[in-house]
Structure 1
């Protein structure tokens, strides 16, 4: 009888689609926020609905019969109920493709089109909403309500859940079209980031924010100098180029990216984050190296044998010289292997550290 009950619970959970976790260091969570390009404007296709068990959405808005604060297999809409496909959809799929199978990626997306950075500012959002209501600018209030009526609070709520269930690896940000006349916009972007870092008790040195350019061929591409200023103001801010990402010509404006534009742009967010993750690899310990466990490869012919003990020697910072001067140690995140790399007689050679004698 007990087995039947347990089986029923498992089946029910699978049908509901929610994914539950204890705190898992291999669950990497990103908090995304901004306006329409972060919400996503590309038409949803069948391939966007294909779920990857390693790519999840931390539901931040109340819709789709899914509970706020729960994890589900990622599929659009990733933000509010009218979100389509955008940066976070492409970002997540690229990340799981490139990272080891042991890593899961989750994104919480809090974004509403056409809104100022002030809507995300804990000290300005209430007056901003009231001013909009006074002007009759209320078309977007329904989406604000899906996020609980306060975007800053919702990001913080998602951040606290993220810290309990996994590890916050960074922020994804795209906004600025609504504030094209705001001279101090870069400083306001930094303030929101700083407030979130403080409230969530995050280490700013380990928590980057990726800030994307506005569509260069769009109406507001000229504002990208301000976007760069915002990224430069934040010590761990990183500018994501939108050069070569096509913009969509619409009836009244050209502000959003095309499907191709989102795909290029989202992958660039992921590529920058992968670069950052690689730079955060822990410093290795040279005392754990055994020179007998070095297998030679070179730039034209790599050893294709994957080591069964690579993980045990991954954490090394320096390695003794291997039949040449000044070798360099590096970890290849794509091959999940540690290498010694050096040049000899003008030819680059690589040694894969496998822990296997040869």
Structure 2
């Protein structure tokens, strides 16, 4: 009789431990505020990951795309799981790091989930709805949305389009409209970034992109004033952190309107 009682006790304890373990896992992963980070090389990150950027981000998780382990504690480089990226050695510090760190502070304990799917050297034409880069970003976002609510998109792209800046606005408007439709989020906040001002031909692009909020509801633009680059195109580490914070500040403004 004692053996039966002991066996029942052990089964009950085992069941309780298993239940608690599952609860811990669920608590770590859910619910999350999700953000999609897309664009070309500056969003993929080309700045050095300095000592202060090497630790994992508190309360921030990175979507891996792996069914067995879909999320991990976010640590740079954040574009490592992009399904369209260039070689791993090219993925470094991007604004998504500073953005997530700031959003985690602002969100007061709510977990932040990043879906980072950028690719360097790409034009906005390559991000057109229906093409590979767009489809991959949407597919990754949809899979990640099983674990939380998509709260916004941050976008940094344009270096490949400065020569035809006057044709850019209709294309980014189409991109935003398609993302909102395909991700079933009609008012999804979308924040774009200016380019570095190191080259004169980017002035027209940077002026043009400032008009985005007047053209599309619930969008914002991050300026690049007082930033520096490592090669007249890619922002240095300090500037990436500054831009990340600016993206967060602009995102919070948009979210507060909804």
Query: What range describes the TM-score normalised by the shorter chain of this pair?
Result: 0.7 to 0.9
- In structure 2, the residue matched to 1:99 is 107
Q: Distance in 2 between matches of 1:68 and 1:112?
A: 25
Q: Residue 270 of structure 1: CA displacement?
A: 0.8
Q: Distance in 1 between matches of 2:206 and 2:169?
A: 11
Contact kept, 8 Å, 1:18 with 1:73, in 2: the verdict is no
Q: Superposition pairs for residues 61-210 of structure 1, below 5 Å?
A: 70-80=70-80, 81=88, 82-101=90-109, 103-123=110-130, 125=131, 150-182=132-164, 183-204=166-187, 207-210=188-191
Please say if 1:214 is aligned against 2:192: no
Q: What is the SS of the residue equivalent to 2:79? A: coil
- 1:227-278 superposed Cα distances (whole Å, 9 cap, x missing partner): 2234432222211111111222x2xxx1111111111111111111223333
Q: What is the SS of the residue equivalent to 2:163? A: coil
Q: Which moved more, 1:113-122 or 1:225-234?
A: 225-234
Q: Distance in 1 between matches of 2:140 and 2:182?
A: 12
Q: Residue 196 of structure 1: CA displacement?
A: 1.3
TM-score by length of 2: 0.80
Q: Distance in 1 between matches of 2:19 and 2:200?
A: 53
Q: Residue 194 of structure 1: CA displacement?
A: 0.8
Q: What is the SS of the residue equivalent to 1:122? A: coil
Q: Distance in 2 between matches of 1:157 and 1:68?
A: 17
- In structure 1, the residue matched to 2:50 is 45
Contact kept, 8 Å, 1:171 with 1:210, in 2: the verdict is yes
Q: Superposition pairs for residues 224-243 of structure 1, below 5 Å?
A: 224-243=206-225
Contact kept, 8 Å, 1:20 with 1:70, in 2: the verdict is no
Please say if 1:275 is aligned against 2:258: no
Would the alpha carbon gap of residues 7 and 69 (structure 1) be closer, same or farther in structure 2, given more than 3 Å must change?
A: closer
Alignment size in residue pairs:
236
Q: Give unpaired runs (5+ residues) of structure 1.
A: 61-65, 126-149, 281-358
Structure with the larger helix share: 2
Contact kept, 8 Å, 1:231 with 1:239, in 2: the verdict is yes
Alpha-carbon RMSD across the aligned residues, in angstroms, is 2.9
Max Rg structure = 1
Q: Distance in 2 between matches of 1:114 and 1:18?
A: 38
Q: Distance in 1 between matches of 2:104 and 2:224?
A: 22
Q: Residue 218 of structure 1: CA displacement?
A: 4.2
Would the alpha carbon gap of residues 68 and 261 (structure 1) be closer, same or farther in structure 2, given more than 3 Å must change?
A: farther
Q: Residue 5 of structure 1: CA displacement?
A: 9.2
Q: Give unpaired runs (5+ residues) of structure 2.
A: 1-9, 81-87
Contact kept, 8 Å, 2:169 with 2:212, in 1: the verdict is yes
Contact kept, 8 Å, 2:54 with 2:75, in 1: the verdict is yes
Contact kept, 8 Å, 2:34 with 2:150, in 1: the verdict is yes
Contact kept, 8 Å, 2:35 with 2:153, in 1: the verdict is yes
Q: What is the SS of the residue equivalent to 2:117? A: strand
Q: Distance in 2 between matches of 1:164 and 1:196?
A: 17
- 1:140-177 superposed Cα distances (whole Å, 9 cap, x missing partner): xxxxxxxxxx2212221222234322111111001000
